């Protein structure tokens, strides 16, 4: 029976802004996924959808920024994303609960489904299998296991059933895939037999007008392995040998000969002989002509084949290699050995590298990129096979785990491969220590009462003094991934469960790491280990289910093996150390034994007495998963009754009397009964789709939005801390969130975000978050002015920070005000409800991430339905691109193919359009790397130096500096073009010569513009004194800062440095008192410089209100000396380092000898720093 709810699509605008962390779901998983990361790409490859359990994320593949983050109410079984990536579907098919089967379609800009179908199958084959989208977004198809198809038409966001089709495929055949044609006039079906390996495939083309087959082709000689055969390979450790196809062109890749076996001759195709030399073959077949196009020969069994385009096939093999093949020649053109790219350290458990394989592989043929993931690993990688580059699809967030309070104002936690002690009262890191076994991921536990910490790697147990973060002892432990460990609350004991048979099985993998893994032997050994304890073919008694537990004691910060406990169970589910006694509550898991006469009990509870070394089995009436309740002498017991009903009991640990008993309904509760107590009354149950909060006092349970993998409560109960990659602090309860802190992998940067989105940024912390509004993602330049509010963050944290830190609130508020004044904005203008124009890049999905073409063509369309368009703004790496065509002449719509000349290396391109009200559209971001032949830059040097003036006093070193600068750079660069104007040559008239000289510069050329001499301030504006300047008419005879800025901004060069070696050359700020001066300094140090400039980096020798002094004893000024020192000591240098080194050098001289020589009393400042453009100076 089919129930369909066809809903018209209505946009429910999310006006609120939402900050979300820049972390792929693959990085939030706490344990390796046996099947790798689950993801798909949109048809145009512009979006990637990642799903893990009940979490979904969609990312823009070009900018690598998240554009959707969603919590799902159910664990889904399949998902799809449409061609352009603006609509996605989720599917749930359940055999146990058929009423919950559904398909839901969502638009990126809407949290509510725009279309949903609920389905109650009447038989096992009457269920959904997949959803398919056509290219232009006007149709969808829903395919059922019964080989029926529903096709819907989408008109004005309304979904109408166009046709229900019964394909009448032969019995035991199933639809393997479905595709709409590119012209949208037909669709293609590919089907095959599920049970016989000798049945041909069926290829059909159907009309979308008559809904009848146009052609049906049953291949006589070409067929795939059966579903049963593919599953058999998977059981042996192989990835299912997945065939490939391109239904539009009727192309198929046979997988029958992809494995390491072959027959001497193919039946039905006498032209093709299979050589019985143990090679494997990949056969490319054209179903329309029933001809084999080519055979690709390989020495290793293929895992998967993908037809990338009409010229290329991508394959993966059993040795974890990825290959690129030329279809016409059958030649291997490129390959990637992932064993060399992915190291053992990239796996949570070293054994798993050897048993891993390539899990999911998706090809972007336009950008020549292959997305792939490995089993047993939580990473997506991207290989560009044109330029042979490999990278991880991830962000720069450091993963935080296992937080513990060390006092009411300090916490310790695991940060990637570090232990870190953090003082949240003063917002400072106390200490950070790298785990010495950092190549192996580790677990961490801590006890406040004893100040002990314990870390466990795969084969090492280590004890720590946490206050000093110094390890005190370590011991080797048996190596296996099947070794769970448990500790007493005070860490005086640590228990590690050891399965000897499994340990021996996996330790054999390490005997010869270079030898290929024998999947068959491994699977047989594991199955034998399990079967011997559950079933014997000869009817003999099964082996005892027994597991050993090693107990370690931590006396005086020393680890000692105390005892070994033999527990009659297949595995250890949980161990709780009973407070105020040397006893342990143990829950053992039992495998069911075939033909056993006794009632099967999944979990058995024991009490082990450490002093007497005796193990006591608890009565059958209190068997189940058991955990001690904090601060009590009772334990909580869970026992599954049926389906989603669980019986909960509270049992006295001494008398074993049941104090309370009740049943709870827990849909989606994990089978391993993972839970964590908040206090003695509240416990969080971790579920597949969501978590539950169970109240033991009221016996009530409810769904909760608490998603974290670890938490702790301070001793005073005033604060809570949780982790889920990030660090979150709460006041008194989880309902009162204070802030979330994201930490950067550079170990320097971070960002602290309040629930209302205001934040405090440090360093590159802004890289770690994205602002979502209406599910559109915005870069930090577009939200930093509004939300970067240290003053509001400090006020919100008043109860958790020191008085000293809180007293900086007023100064931070003043610094924020000065920031807005400098940019020329008022706070009300940051209202996100302002009307703004729209700009779209039509061909964004087809743009490459890497290219050897120096020109990138952008197809843009801009419009404003309320105001006129005035200007198009384009920047590349923070440098505004000047073009007369960017003046839009007050149109309301604008369309153009925009050619952008790329810089060497990475290019960050930002585009926005401004209307006649001065409001800019949301910036569109394109990231592309130019990897062609590097364009060799010319170095243009302009130096102005005046020591002798017509009307002003002499300056000692200015002309010498101007001359020496050119000579210095000529020693590092052979392509130098220079123009030097000295003394009486420096006039406003000659300023035009400079413009003409620089007009020939190109985008990748470097311009260094050096200015030395007198400068004056007039009406708070900077003027460089020309040779004939007078103080009284400086605005007429002088050269203003705007003159320099405009001259450089009109050049094509994107690599520009202006050095103002003069008085008053820093930026001028309007201040009335000392506090405002402090606020200006704070503004410069805290906030990123978002003032709209032409992108020229500027070094000034002095502050805007101060003179600049030089020593008469020196022949050159401090900045020139600094440059000379860098040229002498640095083989190569980037502009960011160049500027910082000049400031550091001058500061060092100033501090060393500030009075005798009066050399550079004012340390140079970086007046403007283009953070996006870090080009090489030499």
State the CATH number of the domain containing residue 94. Answer: 2.130.10.10
Strand partners, 222: none
In a domain, 720, yes or no: no
pLDDT at 930 over 60: yes
| Cβ-contact 908, 876 below 8 angstroms | yes
**Per the domain annotation, does 451 fall within a domain?**
yes
pLDDT exceeds cutoff 70 at 521? no
Same domain assignment for residues 944 and 1001: yes
Domain end position, chosen among 342, 363, 395: 395
Last residue of a domain, one of 134, 151, 166: 166
pLDDT of 564: 93
Mean pLDDT across the chain:
80
Residue 797 sits in the same domain as residue 945: no
> In this model, does residue 545 exceed pLDDT 80?
no
Which range has the worst mean pLDDT, 98-107, 177-186, 854-863, 874-883? Answer: 98-107
Same-domain status, 843 and 790: no
Classified as helix, coil or strand, 340 is helix
The H or E element containing residue 405 is strand 400-405
On whether the CB atoms of residues 370 and 385 are closer than 8 A, the answer is yes
Claim to verify: residue 878 and residue 781 sit in the same structural domain? no
Q: Where are the alpha helices (DSSP H) in 338-433?
A: 338-341, 351-355
- Let me know if 271 is exposed, middle or buried by CB neighbors in 10 A (0-12, 13-18, 19+): exposed
pLDDT above 90 for 419: yes
CB contact at 8 A, 811 and 1078:
yes
Residue 331 shares a structural domain with residue 446: no
Distance CA 949, CA 936 (A): 39
Q: Please say if the pLDDT value at position 739 is more than 90.
A: yes
Last residue of a domain, one of 617, 644, 665: 617
Angle between helical axes of 991-998 and 1041-1049 (0-180°, round to 10): 20
Domain extent at residue 776: 752-830
User: CA nearest 258: which of 316, 307, 308, 313?
Assistant: 316
804 vs 444: CA distance, rounded Å = 33
Which region among 426-440, 974-988, 1000-1014, 1077-1091 has the lowest average model confidence (pLDDT)? Answer: 1077-1091
**Are 1113 and 964 in the same domain?**
yes
Residue predicted with more confidence, 726 or 1069: 726
Residue 958 and residue 1013 in contact, taking contact as beta carbons nearer than 8 Å: yes
Amino acid 633: pLDDT? 93
Q: What are phi and psi of 1138, to 5 degrees?
A: -55, -50
Structural domain contains residue 745: no
pLDDT at 860: 93
Evaluate if residue 829 carries a pLDDT over 80: no
Q: Which residues face 839 on adjacent strands? A: 862
Q: Are 992 and 1042 within 8 A, CB to CB? A: no
Whole-number CA gyration radius for the chain: 35
Task: Name the pLDDT band for 544 (thresholds 50, 70, 90).
Answer: low
Cα torsion at 747, 751, 754, 759 (round to 10°)? 160
Is there a single domain that holds both residue 799 and residue 926? no
* 321 part of a folded domain: yes
Inter-helix orientation angle 1074-1086/809-823, to 10°: 80
**For 471, what's the count of Cα atoms within 13 Å in the CB-facing half-sphere?**
19
Residue 295 pLDDT: 77
**Confidence band of 126 (pLDDT split at 50, 70, 90):** low
Residues of the chain with pLDDT > 90: what percent? 29
Question: Is 172 part of a structural domain of the chain?
Answer: no
pLDDT category at 1073 given cuts 50, 70, 90 is low
C-alpha–C-alpha distance, residues 104 and 95, integer Å? 18
Q: Please tell me the predicted confidence (pLDDT) of residue 11.
A: 24
Q: Give the Cβ contact number of residue 525 at 10 Å.
A: 17
What is the token pair recorded at 971? Answer: 């020693």
Residue 203 lies in a domain: no
- How far apart, in whole angstroms, are the C-alpha atoms of residue 468 and residue 68? 42
Together in a domain, 819 and 847: no
Residue 9: pLDDT band with limits 50, 70, 90: very low
Instruction: Give the integer Cα–Cα distance in Å for 177 and 190.
Output: 5
Sign of the alpha-carbon dihedral angle for 722, 726, 727, 728 = negative
pLDDT band at residue 511, thresholds of 50, 70 and 90?
A: very low
Label residue 848 by pLDDT band (50, 70, 90).
confident
Distances (CA, A) of 925 to 838, 907, 1089: 14, 10, 19
Is 520 part of a structural domain of the chain? yes
Q: Alpha-carbon distance 190 to 307, whole Å?
A: 15
From the CB of residue 511, how many other CB atoms can be counted at a distance below 10 Å?
Answer: 7
Instruction: Over range 586-615, report the average pLDDT.
Output: 84
State in Å, rounded, how far the first CA of the chain is from the last one: 73
pLDDT of residue 110: 74
Sequence-distant (≥ 6) Cβ neighbours of residue 162 within 8 angstroms: 139, 151, 152, 153
Q: What is the mean pLDDT of residues 74-80?
A: 80
Phi and psi (nearest 5°) for 478? -55, 140
How far does CA 113 lie from the centroid of its chain? 26
Does residue 358 share a domain with residue 469?
A: no
Q: Are residues 799 and 948 in the same domain?
A: no
Give the pLDDT band (50/70/90) at residue 317. Answer: confident
Which pTM value belongs to this model? Answer: 0.72
| Structural domain includes residue 505 | yes
* Average pLDDT of span 504-522: 50
The rounded distance, in Å, linking the Cα atoms of 506 and 498 is 13
> Contact at 8 Å (CB) between 292 and 285?
yes
* Structural domains of the chain, count: 6
What distance separates the 2 farthest-apart alpha carbons in the chain?
A: 114
Asked if residue 92 and residue 235 are part of one domain, the reply reads no
Among 124-138, 349-363, 388-402, where is mean pLDDT lowest? Answer: 349-363
- Smallest Cα–Cα separation from 306: which of 235, 383, 362? 362
Query: Above 80 in pLDDT, residue 49?
Result: yes
Task: Report DSSP state, residue 921.
Answer: P
- Residue 843: give its domain's CATH number: 2.60.40.10
Let me know whether 1003 and 1142 are in one domain.
Answer: yes
């Amino acid at each position: 029976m089919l129930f369909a709810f066809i809903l018209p699509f209505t946009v429910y605008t999310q006006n609120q802004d939402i900050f979300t962390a820049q972390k792929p779901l693959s990085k939030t998983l706490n344990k390796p996924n046996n099947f790798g990361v689950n993801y798909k790409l949109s048809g145009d490859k512009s979006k990637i959808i990642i799903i893990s359990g009940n979490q979904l994320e969609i990312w823009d593949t070009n900018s690598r920024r998240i554009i959707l983050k969603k919590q799902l109410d159910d664990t889904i079984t399949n998902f799809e994303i449409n061609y352009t990536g603006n609509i996605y579907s989720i599917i749930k098919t359940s055999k146990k609960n058929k009423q919950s089967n559904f398909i839901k379609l969502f638009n990126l800009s809407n949290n509510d489904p725009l279309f949903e179908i609920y389905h109650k199958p009447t038989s096992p084959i009457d269920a959904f299998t997949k959803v398919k989208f056509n290219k232009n977004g006007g149709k969808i198809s829903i395919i059922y296991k019964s080989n029926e198809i529903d096709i819907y038409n989408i008109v004005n966001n309304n979904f109408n059933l166009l046709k229900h089709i019964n394909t009448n495929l032969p019995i035991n055949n199933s639809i393997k895939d479905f595709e709409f044609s590119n012209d949208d006039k037909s669709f293609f079906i590919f089907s095959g037999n599920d049970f016989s390996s000798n049945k041909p495939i069926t290829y059909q083309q159907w009309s979308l007008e008559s809904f009848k087959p146009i052609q049906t082709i049953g291949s006589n000689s070409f067929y795939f392995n059966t579903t049963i055969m593919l599953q058999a390979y998977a059981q042996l450790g192989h990835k299912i040998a997945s065939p490939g196809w391109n239904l539009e062109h009727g192309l198929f890749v046979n997988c029958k000969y992809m494995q390491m076996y072959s027959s001497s001759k193919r039946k039905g195709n006498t032209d093709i002989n299979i050589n019985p030399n143990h090679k494997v073959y990949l056969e490319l077949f054209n179903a329309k002509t029933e001809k084999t196009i080519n055979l690709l020969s390989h020495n290793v069994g293929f895992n998967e084949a993908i037809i990338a385009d009409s010229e290329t096939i991508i394959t993966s093999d059993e040795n974890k290699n990825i290959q690129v093949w030329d279809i016409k020649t059958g030649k291997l053109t490129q390959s990637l050995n992932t064993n060399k790219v992915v190291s053992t350290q990239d796996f949570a458990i070293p054994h798993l590298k050897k048993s891993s394989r390539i899990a999911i592989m998706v090809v972007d043929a336009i950008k020549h990129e292959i997305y792939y993931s490995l089993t047993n690993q939580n990473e997506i990688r991207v290989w560009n096979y044109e330029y042979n580059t490999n990278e991880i699809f991830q962000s720069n967030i450091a993963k935080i785990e296992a937080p513990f309070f060390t006092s009411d104002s300090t916490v310790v936690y695991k940060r990637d491969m570090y232990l870190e002690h953090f003082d949240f009262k003063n917002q400072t890191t106390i200490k950070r220590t790298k785990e010495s076994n950092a190549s192996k991921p580790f677990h961490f536990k801590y006890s406040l009462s004893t100040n002990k910490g314990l870390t466990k790697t795969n084969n090492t147990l280590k004890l720590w003094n946490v206050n000093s973060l110094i390890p005190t002892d370590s011991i080797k432990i048996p190596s296996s991934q099947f070794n769970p460990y448990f500790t007493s609350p005070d860490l005086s004991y640590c228990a590690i469960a050891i399965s000897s048979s499994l340990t021996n099985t996996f330790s054999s993998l390490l005997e010869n790491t270079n030898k290929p893994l024998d999947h068959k032997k491994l699977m047989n050994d594991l199955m034998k280990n399990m079967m011997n304890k559950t079933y014997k073919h000869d009817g003999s008694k099964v082996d005892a289910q027994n597991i050993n537990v090693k107990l370690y004691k931590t006396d005086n910060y020393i680890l000692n093996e105390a005892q070994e406990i033999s527990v009659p169970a297949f595995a250890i589910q949980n161990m709780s150390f009973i407070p105020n006694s040397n006893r342990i509550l143990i829950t053992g898991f039992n495998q069911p034994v075939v033909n056993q006469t006794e009632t099967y009990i999944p979990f058995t509870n024991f009490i082990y007495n450490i002093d007497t070394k005796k193990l006591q089995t608890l009565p059958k009436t209190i068997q189940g998963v058991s955990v001690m309740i904090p601060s009590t002498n009772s334990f909580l017991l869970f026992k599954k009754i049926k389906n989603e009903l669980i019986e909960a009991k509270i049992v006295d640990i001494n008398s074993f009397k049941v104090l309370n008993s009740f049943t709870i309904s827990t849909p989606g509760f994990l089978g391993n009964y993972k839970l964590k107590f908040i206090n003695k009354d509240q416990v969080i149950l971790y579920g597949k789709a969501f978590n539950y909060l169970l109240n033991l006092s009221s016996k009530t349970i409810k769904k909760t939005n608490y998603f974290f993998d670890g938490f702790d409560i301070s001793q005073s109960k005033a604060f809570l801390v949780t982790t889920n990659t990030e660090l979150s602090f709460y006041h008194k309860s989880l309902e009162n969130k204070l802030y979330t802190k994201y930490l950067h992998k550079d170990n320097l940067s971070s960002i602290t975000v309040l629930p209302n989105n205001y934040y405090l940024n440090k360093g590159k912390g802004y890289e770690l978050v994205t602002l979502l509004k209406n599910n559109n993602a915005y870069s930090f330049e577009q939200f930093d002015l509004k939300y970067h509010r240290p003053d509001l963050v400090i006020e919100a944290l008043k109860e958790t920070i020191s008085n000293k830190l809180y007293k900086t609130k007023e100064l931070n508020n003043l610094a924020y005000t000065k920031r807005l004044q400098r940019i020329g904005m008022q706070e009300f203008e940051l209202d996100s409800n302002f009307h703004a124009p729209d700009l779209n890049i039509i061909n964004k999905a087809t743009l490459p991430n890497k290219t050897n073409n120096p020109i990138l063509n952008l197809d843009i369309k801009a419009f404003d339905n309320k105001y006129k368009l005035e200007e198009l703004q384009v920047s590349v790496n923070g440098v505004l691109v000047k073009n007369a065509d960017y003046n839009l002449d007050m149109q309301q719509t604008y369309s153009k193919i925009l050619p952008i000349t790329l810089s060497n290396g990475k290019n960050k391109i930002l585009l926005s359009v401004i209307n006649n009200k001065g409001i800019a559209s949301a910036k569109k971001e394109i990231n592309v790397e130019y990897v062609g032949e590097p364009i060799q830059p010319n170095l243009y040097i302009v130096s102005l130096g005046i020591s002798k003036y017509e009307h002003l006093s002499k300056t000692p070193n200015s002309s010498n500096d101007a001359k020496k600068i050119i000579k210095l750079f000529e020693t590092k660069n052979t392509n130098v073009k220079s123009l030097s104007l000295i003394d009486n040559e420096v006039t406003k008239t000659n300023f035009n010569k400079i413009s003409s000289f620089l007009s020939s510069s190109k985008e990748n050329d470097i311009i260094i513009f050096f200015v030395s001499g007198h400068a004056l301030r007039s009406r708070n504006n900077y003027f460089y004194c020309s040779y004939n300047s007078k103080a009284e008419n400086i605005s007429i005879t002088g050269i203003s800062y705007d003159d320099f800025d405009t001259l450089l901004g009109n050049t094509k060069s994107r690599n520009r440095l202006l050095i103002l070696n003069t008085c008053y050359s820093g930026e001028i700020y309007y201040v009335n008192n000392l506090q405002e001066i402090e606020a200006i300094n704070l503004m410069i140090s805290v906030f990123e410089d978002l003032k709209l400039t032409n992108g020229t980096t500027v070094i000034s020798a002095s502050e805007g209100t101060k003179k600049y002094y030089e020593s008469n004893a020196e022949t050159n000024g401090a900045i020139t000396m600094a440059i000379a020192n860098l040229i002498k000591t640095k083989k190569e240098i980037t502009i960011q380092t160049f500027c910082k080194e000049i400031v550091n050098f001058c500061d060092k001289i100033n501090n060393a000898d500030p009075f005798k020589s009066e050399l550079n009393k004012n340390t140079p400042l970086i007046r403007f720093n283009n953070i996006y453009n870090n080009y090489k100076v030499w």
